Amino acid sequence: MTLANAQPQALQFDCETGNYHTFCPISCVAWLYQKIEDSFFLVIGTKTCGYFLQNAMGVMIFAEPRYAMAELEEGDISAQLNDYEELKRLCMQIKRDRNPSVIVWIGTCTTEIIKMDLEGMAPKLESEVGIPIVVARANGLDYAFTQGEDTVLASMLIRCPDKAPETDKEDRNAIHKLLNFGRKQEDVKAEASEYVDHPPLILFGSLPDPVVTQLTLELKRQGIKVSGWLPTKRYTELPVIEEGYYAVGVNPFLSRTATTFMRRRKCKLIGAPFPIGPDGTRAWVEKICSVFGIEPQGLEEREQQIWANLEDYLQLIRGKSVFFMGDNLLEISLARFLIRCGMTCPEIGIPYMDKRYQAAELALLEQTCHEMNVPLPRIIEKPDNYNQLQRINELKPDLVITGMAHANPLEARGINTKWSVEFTFAQIHGFSNARDILELVTRPLRRNNNLKDLGWDKLVKEEAKI
């Protein structure tokens, strides 16, 4: 008898009520305004939105705020005030106070419901104010949590220049000159020859700068040159994107941006698993190589070496089970990596599943499950948190990756948890950061090892009425 007989042969997808908790997509402001250093994010919404941002982002950042709320008041809602004039007044003030290179308007549920025509107003206002205005509809009616970044990047992508103007080219070269300052011409040429000749490649997804460098170098090892990243550190340095360029994403929640690359910029999208975990990173690099007809060098050894370095952590999680309640859309990639680490995963909750954009990742998940000889997880789109809690109570998984609302109550019932939001902010991409993922995943298990003799498992009185 083999285990395989009992397994469903293909991934099973379900959809529940959608009564689940996740962060509002406007939270993308929290990391994007830090990533794009010359930007100003203006969230156009209500007190409810503002209080969320304040509570999600904490007090720390108020020294030099580069985001603000345009708080809609009763007069705005009842259309007694002129939206255009009001926004103009605020944008003028922002220009005066902060003088950013770009103002990003973040539309919210409220602007959707009152049908405020942000896209219609922006072009006229931007010529009056003299600062580019990018409009992104990061509302909770259509999107969840990390998809907020997707809406911003998709809008920003439209603003990327389609041809480098001659003078501008000079400027860009100037930066290169600066970088190459003091180096011999031959060295510069030699560097150019390190790259294989291939069509320009654009990477998209907002990552911390060190990770950007790591992934860029990872591709350079294969002779692949990254022509540009979206987003850039400065809005004024958005990459040139011409028709026929290739694009590849680094995060699973960027399906709208991916579509925009194909439809609006006529680029070719490389559908690859995401560079999360050594297995995913290898598959990602391999896929890019295969598109450019490059034979990857030393990838297998590199992956093996990373796995070998993870062994101390792997011992802690092998054979244990992990349950994803669903929050940031990184769930499939993380589950795939953790299954490869030797864990089992009964359920992957996910807010939204774009089966086309995530096709390569889903295929790798399936393949991983077969190779590791474990059952395929059930994938639940738009989960129902109440139902999930019942299932958790039944399955008693060793670890639940969950949003912040459920972590403490689950811990009080003896269930180990890790906040999903930590994976959103931690550096998890690429080969060397796999250790950081496991550092997070194993923390509750290591904590338990420290406390195990104390008998402090259940900290609620009656048997949990979840």
Partner 1 sequence: MKLAYWMYAGPAHIGTLRIASSFKNVHAIMHAPLGDDYFNVMRSMLERERDFTPVTASVVDRNVLARGSQEKVVDNITRKDQEEHPDLIILTPTCTSSILQEDLQNFCERAQLEAKGDVMLADVNHYRVNELQAGDRTLQQVVQFYLEKAKKKGDLPTEKTAQPSVNIIGISTLGFHNHHDCTELKRLMADLGITVNAVIPEGASVHELKNLPRAWFNLVPYRELGMMTADYLKTEFDMPYIDITPMGVVETARCLRAIQALLNEKGANVDYEDYINEQTLHVSQAAWFSRSIDCQNLTGKKAVVYGDNTHAAALTKILSREMGIHVVWAGTFCKYDADWFREQVSGYCDEVLITDDHTVVGDAIAKAEPSAIFGTQMERHVGKRLDIPCGVISAPIHIQNFPIGYKPFLGYEGTNQIVDLIYNSFTLGMEDHLLEIFGGHDTKDVITKTLSADSDMTWSKDGLTELNRIPGFVRGKVKRNTEKFARDRNIEVITAEVLYAAKEAVGA
* 175 is an interface residue for partner 1 by CB under 8 A: no
Which of 375, 409, 443, 445 is in the footprint of partner 1 by CB under 8 A?
409
DSSP letters, 256-323, are HHHHHHHHTS-PEE-----SBHHHHHHHHHHHHHHHTT----SHHHHHHHHHHHTHHHHHHHTT-BEE
Residue number with CB closer to partner 1 (267 or 330): 330
Which of 1, 59, 178, 454 is in the footprint of partner 1 by CB under 8 A?
59
Which of 173, 297, 373, 408 is in the footprint of partner 1 by CB under 8 A?
408
Q: Would you say 345 is a known binding-site residue?
A: no
Least Å distance, CB 415 to partner 1, is: 12
Number of chain residues interacting with partner 1 (CB under 8 A): 70
Which of 102, 104, 131, 139 is in the footprint of partner 1 by CB under 8 A?
139
Residue number with CB closer to partner 1 (189 or 461): 461
Cβ-based neighbour number of residue 463 at 10 Å: 9
Q: Which two tokens stand for residue 283?
A: 């598959």
Residue number with CB closer to partner 1 (56 or 440): 56
Residue number with CB closer to partner 1 (23 or 431): 23
* 425 is an interface residue for partner 1 by CB under 8 A: no
Structure-token match 């099973």, residue found = 12
Which of 129, 188, 395, 405 is in the footprint of partner 1 by CB under 8 A?
405
Query: Phi and psi (nearest 5°) for 41?
Result: -100, 125
Looking at 341-425, list the stretches that DSSP marks H as alpha helix, in order from N- to C-terminal side: 359-372, 385-395, 404-412, 420-425
CA distance 5 to 2: 6
Please list every residue from 337 through 356 that binds partner 1, using CB under 8 A: 351
For the chain, the residue count is: 466
* 253 is an interface residue for partner 1 by CB under 8 A: no
Least Å distance, CB 138 to partner 1, is: 10
From 19-27, 336-344, 358-366, 434-442, give the range in contact with partner 1 by CB under 8 A.
19-27
Cα 309–Cα 311–Cα 312 angle in degrees, nearest 5: 105
Q: Which residues contact 184 (CB under 8 A, 6 or more apart)?
A: none
User: Where are the extended beta strands (E) located within 101-200?
Assistant: 102-107, 133-137
CA distance 48 to 192: 52
Q: Would you say 24 is a known binding-site residue?
A: yes
Least Å distance, CB 53 to partner 1, is: 10
Please list every residue from 426 through 465 that binds partner 1, using CB under 8 A: 459-460, 465
From 30-38, 211-219, 251-259, 400-408, give the range in contact with partner 1 by CB under 8 A.
400-408
From 47-55, 171-179, 231-239, 434-442, give the range in contact with partner 1 by CB under 8 A.
47-55
Which of 93, 173, 193, 305 is in the footprint of partner 1 by CB under 8 A?
93
Least Å distance, CB 74 to partner 1, is: 4
CA distance 118 to 106: 9
- What is the helix (H) or strand (E) element at residue 179, kind and residue range? helix 166-179
Q: For the chain, how far is it from start to end, CA to CA, in angstroms?
A: 37
DSSP letters, 73-99, are -HHHHTT-S-HHHHHHHHHHHHHHHH-
From 54-62, 162-170, 220-228, 274-282, give the range in contact with partner 1 by CB under 8 A.
54-62
Cα 278–Cα 279–Cα 285 angle in degrees, nearest 5: 85
Least Å distance, CB 453 to partner 1, is: 22
* 16 is an interface residue for partner 1 by CB under 8 A: no
Cβ-based neighbour number of residue 411 at 10 Å: 16
Cα 267–Cα 272–Cα 273 angle in degrees, nearest 5: 145
> Do the beta carbons of residue 385 and residue 304 sit within 8 Å?
no
* 373 is an interface residue for partner 1 by CB under 8 A: no
Which of 110, 281, 328, 424 is in the footprint of partner 1 by CB under 8 A?
110
Contact set with partner 1 (CB under 8 A):
18-27, 44-52, 54-56, 59-60, 62-63, 65, 68-74, 76-77, 81, 86-87, 89-90, 93-94, 108-110, 113-114, 139-145, 351, 386, 389, 403-409, 412, 459-460, 465-466
Annotated binding-site positions for [4Fe-4S] cluster = 24, 49, 109
